[in-house]
């Protein structure tokens, strides 16, 4: 059964280049006996023009990895590059500028400003940066995300799925080198979640974006091209062209859950259905 990502595989432009890279990336929280090693010498390349999902049990280091790759958090050891720029060692001001100009973010909680319209929310980061959006690109993003007739609405007048689409448009507007999405479907029902995943997929296939998504949901991960599995702060496995069922099976290996039962088979079917797999 092809995954949603596999269906698009043939149309994708050949990928070359690395959008982000980490070598020996280590992050420890706390000191002495209470030290928690959230990331343990991680080496990773995020391929340009692809949709990468990061999965793993709670506490495995997914958010820490995203934060360190995005320059939102400092590292304890190792190096991180965004494109050709080494971001480890940059000063705060330089990091702020780099995040603003080169990275797009989507969060579970949308993070929209309630008093601004959808359009104002979409253009806000570029307004703050004093940059004018390219009108043709703005049109394309708005139309791709189906937001044309919602641009004058405030967040409270939009459904959760529409709010996340606005957050998606905001993340894409500056044509960032990399879009990080942290549990972007976490607050959505399954239909709205599927819609947002479809748009992220289109952002990669049709708009040439690079997307990294942290998720707990095997159905969401099935929309990616590549799943990285984290456990105890290390990348322990990866899966190309994932399906929800295969991801769920693989996750079981890392969470040490009991062998399959009739009940877990039902889980696999439910997850596959939610992911839109037959
Ligand atoms: N600010 C912090 N201070 C201390 N420990 C932290 C901090 N942030 C994360 N940790 C610890 O680092 C480890 C990795 O956390 P992280 O949030 O990256 O995991 P995660 O895989 O994203 O988890 P979840 O799926 O529950 O969001 C955990 O043990 C966590 O308790």
pLDDT in tens, 69-106: 999 999 999 999 999 999 998 999 999 999 988 999 98
Q: Cβ(56) to ligand 1 under 6 A?
A: yes
Instruction: Give the pLDDT band of residue 277 (cuts 50, 70, 90).
Output: low
Q: Cβ(59) to ligand 1 under 6 A?
A: yes
Mutate to test the pocket of ligand 1, among 33, 62, 234 (most ligand atoms within 8 A of CB): 62
pLDDT given at position 10: 36
What is the whole-number distance in angstroms between the Cα of residue 64 and the centre of ligand 1?
6
Between 6 and 231, where is the model more confident? Answer: 231
Report d(CA 62, CA 56) in Å as an integer: 7
List, in order, residues 6 or more apart from 262 with CB less than 8 Å away. none
What is the whole-number distance in angstroms between the Cα of residue 37 and the centre of ligand 1?
9
Residue located nearest, by CA, to atom 29 of ligand 1: 59
pLDDT given at position 89: 86
Structural domains of the chain, ranges and CATH numbers in brackets? 4-9+48-71+92-274 (3.40.50.300)
| Whether complex ipTM tops 0.85 | yes
What is the whole-number distance in angstroms between the Cα of residue 154 and the centre of ligand 1?
33
Residue located nearest, by CA, to atom 1 of ligand 1: 29
- Closest ligand 1 atom to residue 61 Cα is 18
- In the chain, what's the furthest Cα-to-Cα distance? 57
What is the whole-number distance in angstroms between the Cα of residue 141 and the centre of ligand 1?
33
pLDDT in tens, 120-168: 999 999 998 899 999 999 998 898 888 999 999 999 999 998 998 999 9
pLDDT given at position 269: 63
Closest C-alpha among 135, 225, 224, 210 to residue 171: 210
pLDDT given at position 271: 58
Mean pLDDT, the chain, integer: 86
Q: Cβ(36) to ligand 1 under 6 A?
A: yes
The pLDDT of 213-222, averaged and rounded, is 94
Residue located nearest, by CA, to atom 7 of ligand 1: 29
pLDDT given at position 254: 74
Closest C-alpha among 22, 10, 26, 3 to residue 178: 22
Tell me the whole-structure pTM to 2 decimals: 0.84
What is the whole-number distance in angstroms between the Cα of residue 147 and the centre of ligand 1?
35
Residue located nearest, by CA, to atom 31 of ligand 1: 59
List, in order, residues 6 or more apart from 156 with CB less than 8 Å away. 114
Report helix, strand or coil for 159.
coil
pLDDT in tens, 169-209: 999 998 899 999 999 888 888 888 888 899 899 889 988 99
What is the whole-number distance in angstroms between the Cα of residue 176 and the centre of ligand 1?
26
């Amino acid at each position: 059964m092809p995954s949603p990502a596999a269906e698009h595989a043939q149309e994708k432009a050949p990928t070359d280049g690395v959008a982000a890279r980490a070598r020996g990336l280590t992050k420890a929280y706390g000191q002495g006996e209470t030290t928690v090693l959230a990331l343990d010498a991680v080496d990773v390349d995020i391929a340009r023009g692809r949709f990468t999902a990061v999965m793993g049990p709670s506490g495995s280091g997914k958010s820490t990895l995203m934060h360190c790759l995005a320059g939102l958090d400092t590292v304890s050891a190792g190096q991180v590059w965004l494109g050709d720029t080494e971001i480890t060692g940059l000063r705060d001001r330089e990091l702020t500028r780099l995040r603003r100009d080169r990275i797009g973010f989507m969060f579970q909680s949308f993070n929209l400003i309630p008093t601004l319209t959808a359009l104002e929310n979409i253009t806000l980061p570029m307004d703050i940066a004093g940059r004018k959006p390219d009108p043709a690109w703005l049109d394309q993003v708005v139309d791709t995300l189906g937001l044309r007739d919602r641009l004058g609405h405030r967040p409270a007048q939009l459904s959760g799925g529409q709010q996340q689409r606005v957050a998606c448009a905001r993340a894409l507007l500056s044509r960032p080198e990399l879009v990080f999405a942290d549990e972007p479907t976490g607050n959505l029902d399954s239909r709205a979640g599927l819609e947002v995943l479809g748009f992220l997929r289109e952002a990669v296939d049709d708009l040439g974006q690079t997307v990294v998504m942290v998720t707990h949901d095997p159905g969401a991960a099935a929309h990616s091209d590549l799943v990285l599995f984290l456990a105890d702060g290390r990348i322990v496995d990866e899966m190309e062209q994932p399906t929800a069922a295969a991801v769920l099976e693989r996750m079981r290996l890392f969470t040490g859950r009991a062998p399959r039962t009739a009940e877990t088979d039902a889980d696999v079917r439910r997850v596959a259905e939610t992911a839109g797999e037959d």
